[in-house]
Amino acid sequence: MSGGDKLDFEIRPNPAPVSAADRAALLANPGFGRVFTDHMVTIRYAEGKGWYDARVEARAPIPMDPASAVLHYAQEIFEGLKAYRTADGAVTMFRPEANANRFIASAQRLAMPELPAETFVESLRRLVEIDREWIPDGPDASLYLRPFMFASEVFLGVRPANEYLYCVIASPAGAYFAGGVKPVTVWVSPDYTRAAPGGTGAAKCGGNYAASLAAQAEAIEAGCDQVVFLDAVERRFVDELGGMNVFFVYDDNTLVTPPLTGTILPGITRDAVLTLAAAAGHRVEERPVSFADWQADAASGRLREVFACGTAAVITPIGRVRFPDGEFLIGGGEPGRSTMALREQLVSIQRGEAEDPHGWVQRVL
């Protein structure tokens, strides 16, 4: 069918699914991104034909020609979101339409075809429906969903590909913090930057993450959990972490995060935090924060809390900041009250345990 038509999904159940006993054993301690469900979604695209051949089928390796365009020119984008099992047995997702819209924006930036938002959301629902038994129970458990798309055309030449493959896979996930939420230590990279103006910083593409790995390795060598990137032009202003947005909480109840100027990923958790913080009485600002001000405000006590946010860990307090010339603590290195209150509220909404005045939670089953 063409990209403008409603796609009908062909369901091909896995003929050899994981047994109930083996699945239960895997779900007892799934970790994150290590265990996968029985099925996946695939949809193909061809120039002049549009989107076609939508399937839910057994999860399996993807045959790929050595000349597939993605291997040479990196036309690839992805998303990440979670499905939850609620107390009444329902299954929900958190703002899947926001992921769908960001997927479209990423596709536009990388000159890839746009998958209609309704097809994106339906592909998630179809996979969750057939692999429902893979959703783990528990207060911090979820089914992590990974939609992605890449250029599958076999050719060597620098131009947008004419053929693409869209897929969704799923991975049951346990508690991100095995011992409870604890402040992390971050490394401010002096040499590496994540994205430059006019680049792909606002797109969720694999290249951005590949470019962050050397800096992340540097952070680990320095005894840190995550890397913080400064802007690529002046090397003064905080952009974001390797895979999370960052927030600053001041003593006058102001909550600040760097603005979306094209170099920062527009996080869906970030957007939710801005909304919840404003409703909780914080004065919310999107403005640049220099590393020099971060250090000075922490020393004076004006800066009370700093946290990072993203899909996997939701909200993570930052307790210690290291850089080549030294280090400093935020609020004594302990989780801040505002940080933990926002985290608790957001997690409760995501799991359907609290009021959802913004209509963020979508019941899918």
Which DSSP category does 290 fall into?
B
Q: From the candidates 6, 82, 182, 204, which is the catalytic residue?
A: 204
> Tokens 């004065």 label which residue?
283
Which DSSP category does 5 fall into?
S
Give the list of residues 6+ apart from residue 48 with CB closer than 8 angstroms, or none: none
Q: What's the rounded Cα separation, in Å, for the pair 319 and 69?
A: 43
> Tokens 């399937």 label which residue?
55
Residue 137: phi and psi, rounded to 5, are: -85, 160
Verify whether residue 204 is a known catalytic residue. Answer: yes
Cα→Cα distances 26→127, 134, 136, 174, 180, Å:
19, 9, 10, 11, 21
Among candidates 106, 239, 234, which has minimal Cα distance to 164?
106
Q: What's the rounded Cα separation, in Å, for the pair 236 and 238?
A: 7
CA atoms within 13 A on the CB side of 13: 7
Cα→Cα distances 34→30, 84, 133, 140, 171, Å:
7, 18, 17, 16, 7
Which DSSP category does 302 fall into?
-
Give the list of residues 6+ apart from residue 201 with CB closer than 8 angstroms, or none: 194, 195, 208, 239, 262, 263, 264, 265
DSSP letter string, 181-243? ---EEEEE-SS--S--TTSSTTS-BHHHHHHHHHHHHHHHHTT-SEEEEEPTTTS-BEEEESS
- Residue 324 neighbours by CB distance under 10 Å: 10
Q: What's the rounded Cα separation, in Å, for the pair 351 and 205?
A: 28
Catalytic residues: 204
